[in-house]
Amino acid sequence: MMKTRRLFYENVYQKDFEAEVLFCGEDEAGTYVILDQTVFYPEGGGQPADRGVLCPEHDGGVHETCENRPESAAGAAATSGEPESSGSLSMKRSGQISVLDVQYAGESGEDIRHYVDQPLSAGTKVHGFIDWERRFDLMQQHSGEHIVSGCVHKKYGYDNVGFHMGEDVITIDFNGLLDEVQLLQVEKEVNDYIWENRPARIFFPDAEERKRLPFRSKKELTGEVRLVEFPGGDLCACCGLHVEAAGEIGLVKLLSVKHFREGVRVEMVSGKRALRLLHQHLEANSRVAVELSVKPDQTPEAVRHLQDEIYALKGQIASLRQEQFAMRASQCRGKGSVLVLEQNLDAAEVRKEADAVLDTCGGICVVISLEEPRSEKQKDGNNGAGGKYAIGQRDGDVRELVKEMNGALSGKGGGKPFFAQGSLQAEKKDIVDFFTRKGFMIV
């Protein structure tokens, strides 16, 4: 076992450090180095590993002004205007080595392996930088999760039975049911607690104390137990990294609750992620507001109005179509076999029209609705004409005709012997020629 001093437990706010490479090796996950000390947190307790860079062969004294100091992820994001990515390896500069992952490993499970994109020989001095933006975000999410779990535990007695820190949201699974009203209540209490800004306490209780303390834990613990306490908010066994005062979490937003297994799954975000989400939603709503020419707080009403209008227009279209079909039917009365050409009808309308005409024509009725481009944009992308068809004959058999038509006009579709529906890809002229040759009257 190679002992690495865990600087991340001594000061969670340390962003860079100097170290010496003790060992460089390779395992199934890749090339790794073990350092004499590190601020890189290895994945554990539900918290993902830190990422960052190592700057090799850089000796003492100049690191405060180290010209290789990576730009902070936040700085890079602010200039590009993009929402910052959490895994910013773009912070790397030339000559630096990326730390892609950090894991506990080895026989004792306590070696800290820094997986790197280039090997480094033992004895090399390095200056390491963690991606601080990402780390602090994970601390905000993790501490927020503890306080939410503690609050749900206190109010309802449920346990956190599953926890995942995703790239976008954090999920917590509880072994009991919560509804949205209760969720809002939890959210309020959690934020009230956060704004009291009480300091967190991390301690290692002895066996006696451990028996007395009502701490949350997912599993039976042996050996030393590290407890993370947000006094009055939560007490939980955890090896992860946390903010030192609850106020640093800033804000907790509970996003959703849904049934999961025997309980519920809650989605949440904390801190800067909550701000980012607020920004995204405001942006989306203001785009809707611009489209609808209303103020941002009037979009729900405006959308409802629009839906009413669409509903009314659909009703009007349906009754106009009915009139149109009745007119076609009377136009075709007694004409025998007819081809009716239409534009932009949907499949149900094509069928309805064919049905209406079949009542009067006395022969085979073919209705073909061609799709005309409805906008300039569509026109550009549309070179071949296409259409939907319905074809039938009262008490007749149109299967042979459908087969022949599909062959001649690149169609597909079928149905009953006396009625078929489908689509075809052909120019209007070719359609008219085909049916004229068959002796159809073109309407």
State the residues that interact with Zn ion by CB under 5 A: 45, 238, 240
Reference 140, options 274, 7, 265, 277; nearest CA is 274
CB of 238 to Zn ion, least distance (A): 3
Minimum CB separation of residue 48 from Zn ion in Å reads 12
Q: Which is nearer to Zn ion, 146 or 352 (CB)?
A: 146
Inter-helix orientation angle 73-80/132-156, to 10°: 100
Q: Least distance in Å: CB of 174 to Zn ion?
A: 15
Minimal distance, residue 99 CB to Zn ion, in Å? 22
Least Å distance between CB 107 and Zn ion? Answer: 26
Q: Please, what is the minimum distance in Å from the beta carbon of residue 241 to Zn ion?
A: 9
The residue among 47 and 124 lying less far from Zn ion, judged by its C-beta, is 47
Residue placing its CB nearer to Zn ion in the complex, 33 or 249: 249
Closer residue to Zn ion, CB minimum distance, 229 or 353: 229
Residue 412 C-alpha from the chain's centroid: 38
Q: Specify which residues 366 forms β-bridges with.
A: 339, 391
Q: Which residues pair with 112 in a beta bridge?
A: 104
| Cβ burial 69-96 (10 Å sphere, 16+ → b, else e) | bbebbeebbeeeeeebebebbebbeeeb
- Among candidates 427, 360, 415, 426, which has minimal Cα distance to 391? 415
Closest approach, Cβ 170 to Zn ion, in A, equals: 11
**Contact assessment for residue 266 and residue 254, using Cβ atoms and an 8 Å cutoff:** yes
- Residue 254 C-beta: closest distance to Zn ion, Å: 18
Taking the least distance from each CB to Zn ion, the nearer of 217 and 322 is 217
Return the half-sphere exposure (C-beta side, CA atoms, 13 A cut-off) of residue 391: 29
CA 261 remoteness from chain centre: 22
Spatial CA neighbour of 40 closest among 12, 59, 67, 66: 12
- Give helix then strand counts, H and E, for the chain: 11, 21
Question: Is the CB of 97 or the CB of 238 nearer to Zn ion?
Answer: 238
The tokens for 128 are 């390491």
Taking the least distance from each CB to Zn ion, the nearer of 25 and 45 is 45
Instruction: Work out how close the CB of 49 gets to Zn ion at its nearest, in angstroms, rounded to a whole number.
Output: 15
SS3 for 348?
A: helix
Range list of H helices, 11-103: 73-80
For residue 268, give both structure tokens. 């949440």
**Minimum gap (Å) between residue 146 Cβ and Zn ion:** 6
Closest residue to Zn ion, based on beta-carbon distance = 238
- How many CB atoms are located within 10 Å of the residue 344 CB? 13
b/e map 356-370, b = 16+ CB within 10 Å: bbbebbbbbbbbbbb
d(CA 383, CA 367): 22
Nearer to Zn ion, 172 or 238 (CB): 238
Our CB check for Zn ion shows the closer of 30 and 231 to be 231
Nearer to Zn ion, 45 or 176 (CB): 45
Buried b (16+ CB within 10 A) or exposed e, 23-43: ebeeeeeebbbbbebbbbbbe
